[in-house]
Structure 1
Amino acid sequence: MEQKKATEQHAVTEVVDRLAEKYPSVDRDEIARIVADEYTNLDGKPVRDFVPVLVEKSAKKRVKQVAKA
């Protein structure tokens, strides 16, 4: 179980990396906060297999809004 959680957290870190590369005008720390917030929203949900994908999708929407501002 701990290995799966570590793998999930690594995947979420990669989400931050991808979004930071895609949106260089947005501060990386802000992207990390958005991703962490989206990750927290899914914490405790029973099906964990798609958490990184769901986090990236919802965080990308928010980062895109910040980039436009």
Structure 2
Amino acid sequence: MSKFRPRDEYEALVYVIEFLARRHPAIDEDVIVGIVAEELERTSSVTVRSYIPELVERNTRRRLRDSVTPTAH
């Protein structure tokens, strides 16, 4: 397995999940997997799959960022 040259979409998504889990250690990995699965489902009808892992990662990062509410100081 290579992070920079994954064999397939599945392998690329595994890296996305691992990356986001390391980047957001306070969020349970199952939550990240669930969001990735939802984002992947949204792309199920897309025929050109080359950029799907990047799209899924971007949308998942956005959703994780938006779910964190800033605390008042």
TM-score band by shorter chain is: 0.7 to 0.9
**CA RMSD in angstroms, aligned pairs only:** 1.3
Residue aligned with 1:47, SS = coil
Task: Tell me the TM-score normalized by structure 1.
Answer: 0.83
Note the residue ranges of structure 2 that are not aligned, 5 or more in a row. Answer: 1-6
> Which is bigger in relative contact order (C-alpha 8 A, separation at least 6)?
1
Kindly indicate whether residue 43 of structure 2 is the aligned counterpart of residue 42 of structure 1: yes
Alpha-carbon contact 1:34-1:59 (below 8 Å) kept: yes
Matched residue count: 63
More helix by share: 1
**Greater C-alpha radius of gyration:** 2
Q: After TM superposition, what 4+ stretches of structure 1 lie above 6 angstroms from structure 2?
A: none
